[in-house]
């Protein structure tokens, strides 16, 4: 395995100069930097994170804590983070925490002990309780994507506005018998999750228009688990004429169950979701669009700015705890229409 001494010898410079050229720390002429980088590439040399930290105080690594990697929302955020981090020549250190029952807290403790990253992104329900409050102890830029939180800088869809937009769309079409199907959350560290806010906003619109409220059922978030629960609801007497589902996965479960039961969409049942997952367009699902990949890119842009202001990782001023709310966009397709 090539060492820094080898790179310096091939490039014809001292070991200290080679270190500065590769780490970005200290003054090195462009020609020398290029020569050293070319030598490193030819030899297959890669500076370790520990070496970079010794030279610059930085590892050029962003840590990401997520409760899942195989769901659309989390995967999309990760894609945005990875793209933006790569553009800034940063690597990712990913921790798939799972739910607390699968050792999430223990993984978080291990992460806290290692201190291997320049900044940290936690995606939505990654942490709970005191773990959130302890993020400030890291002494690095920390942000949350997917939920507003008082503990860190945060970025998320405006869930209240999203639910209001979806519900008003159905009401303006003329529907008076609406059902909201909420999506369950695995871990809920905040006073209200995105699911709670969407439910609350739906109920506010129903009350404003003086419509008959229906109890709000909560179903599993995944399509396969939501399907059986949704099918049972649609098979019951007195079904609604319109459904606002908390996520597109739940909305797609409604579309499938309706087709199986012979309920025509949108003639007999209108359906609206939230997210605009790729399959929503194919299925003609009316939905509220959000762009989690963009949220991931934005959080990295913020983090790079924070690192430039405090390159040594020191806090200095009070941590940034501001929140960015993304405005929802209603995408009308063929799953909604006036009641007949």
> Per-residue pLDDT tens for 275-322?
999 999 999 999 999 999 999 999 999 999 998 876 554 444 567 889
From the number of C-beta atoms within 10 Å of its C-beta (0-12, 13-18, 19+), residue 179 rates as buried
**In the predicted model, what is the mean pLDDT of residues 17-46?**
80
**In the predicted model, what is the mean pLDDT of residues 229-244?**
94
- For residue 128, the model assigns a pLDDT of 62
**In the predicted model, what is the mean pLDDT of residues 210-229?**
93
pLDDT band at 29 (very low <50, low <70, confident <90, very high): confident
**Look-up of token digits 């979701």:** 273
Instruction: Report which of residues 156 and 89 the model is more confident about.
Output: 156
Homologous superfamily (CATH) for 159-290? Response regulator (3.40.50.2300)
DSSP letters along 144-176, please? EESS--TTSEEEEE-HHHHHHHHHHHHHHHT--
Cis peptide before 266 (omega within 30 of 0): yes
pLDDT in tens, 139-198: 789 899 998 888 789 999 999 999 999 999 999 999 999 999 999 876 555 566 889 999
CB 117 within 8 A of CB 94: no
- For residue 315, the model assigns a pLDDT of 46
Structure letter (DSSP) for residue 211: P
pLDDT band at 54 (very low <50, low <70, confident <90, very high): very low
- For residue 126, the model assigns a pLDDT of 59
pLDDT higher than 90, residue 89: no
Average pLDDT value over all residues in the chain: 85
The whole-angstrom separation of Cα 35 and Cα 142 is 36
**In the predicted model, what is the mean pLDDT of residues 243-259?**
97
pLDDT band at 107 (very low <50, low <70, confident <90, very high): low
**In the predicted model, what is the mean pLDDT of residues 45-67?**
68
The whole-angstrom separation of Cα 135 and Cα 115 is 12
- CB count in 10 Å sphere of residue 183: 24
Phi, psi of 92 (to 5 degrees): -110, 140
Instruction: Report which of residues 293 and 54 the model is more confident about.
Output: 293
Between 41-55, 301-315, 318-332, the lowest mean confidence (pLDDT) is in: 41-55
Q: Is 3.40.50.2300 the CATH number for 61-157+292-326?
A: yes
pLDDT higher than 80, residue 109: no
The whole-angstrom separation of Cα 292 and Cα 325 is 12
- CB count in 10 Å sphere of residue 152: 24
- Token pair for residue 2? 């090539």
**In the predicted model, what is the mean pLDDT of residues 71-85?**
94
The whole-angstrom separation of Cα 75 and Cα 143 is 17
- For residue 48, the model assigns a pLDDT of 60
- The candidate with the shortest Cα–Cα distance to 285, out of 298, 275, 272, 294, is 272
**In the predicted model, what is the mean pLDDT of residues 50-79?**
78
pLDDT higher than 60, residue 99: no
CB 323 within 8 A of CB 154: yes
61-157+292-326 and 159-290, same CATH topology: yes
Give pTM, 2 decimals: 0.80
The whole-angstrom separation of Cα 228 and Cα 38 is 59
**Look-up of token digits 């830029």:** 141
Write the CA distances from 189 to 129, 142, 162, 235, integer angstroms. Answer: 6, 16, 21, 35
Pick the CATH number of 4-56 from 1.25.40.10, 3.40.1350.10, 3.30.310.50, 1.10.260.40: 1.10.260.40
Domain boundaries, the chain: 4-56, 61-157+292-326, 159-290
Residues in the chain: 340
CB 145 within 8 A of CB 123: yes
**In the predicted model, what is the mean pLDDT of residues 3-21?**
84
pLDDT band at 7 (very low <50, low <70, confident <90, very high): confident
The whole-angstrom separation of Cα 18 and Cα 262 is 71
The whole-angstrom separation of Cα 121 and Cα 61 is 11
- Token pair for residue 26? 């200290």
């Amino acid at each position: 395995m090539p060492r820094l001494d080898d790179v310096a010898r091939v490039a014809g410079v001292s070991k200290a100069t080679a270190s500065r050229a590769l780490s970005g720390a200290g003054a090195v002429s462009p020609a020398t930097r290029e020569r050293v980088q070319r030598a490193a590439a030819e030899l297959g040399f890669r500076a370790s994170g520990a070496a970079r930290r010794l030279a610059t105080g930085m590892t050029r690594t962003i840590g990401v804590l997520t409760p899942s990697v195989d769901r659309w929302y989390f995967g999309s955020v990760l894609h945005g983070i990875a793209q933006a981090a790569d553009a800034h020549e940063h690597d990712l250190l990913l921790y798939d925490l799972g739910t607390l029952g699968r050792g999430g807290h223990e993984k978080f403790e291990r992460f806290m002990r290692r201190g291997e990253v320049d900044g940290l992104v936690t995606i939505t329900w990654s942490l709970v309780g005191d773990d959130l409050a302890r993020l400030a102890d890291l002494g690095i830029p920390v942000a949350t994507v997917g939920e507003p939180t008082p503990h860190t800088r945060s970025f998320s869809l405006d869930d209240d506005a999203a639910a209001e937009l979806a519900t008003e769309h159905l009401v303006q079409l003329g529907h008076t018998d609406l059902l909201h199907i909420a999506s369950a959350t695995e871990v809920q560290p905040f006073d209200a999750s995105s699911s709670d806010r969407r439910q609350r906003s739906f109920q506010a619109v129903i009350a404003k228009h003086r419509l008959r409220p229906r109890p709000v059922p909560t179903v599993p978030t995944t399509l396969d688990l939501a399907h059986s629960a949704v099918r049972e609801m649609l098979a019951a007497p007195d079904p609604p004429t319109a459904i606002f589902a908390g996520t597109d996965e739940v909305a797609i479960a409604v579309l499938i169950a309706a087709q199986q039961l012979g309920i025509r969409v949108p003639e007999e049942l209108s359906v609206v979701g939230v997210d605009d997952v790729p399959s929503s367009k194919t299925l003609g699902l009316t939905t509220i669009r959000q762009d989690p990949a963009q949220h991931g890119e934005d959080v990295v842009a913020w983090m790079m700015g924070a690192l430039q202001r405090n390159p040594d990782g020191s806090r200095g001023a009070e941590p940034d705890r501001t929140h960015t709310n993304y405005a929802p966009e209603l995408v009308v397709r063929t799953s909604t229409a006036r009641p007949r």
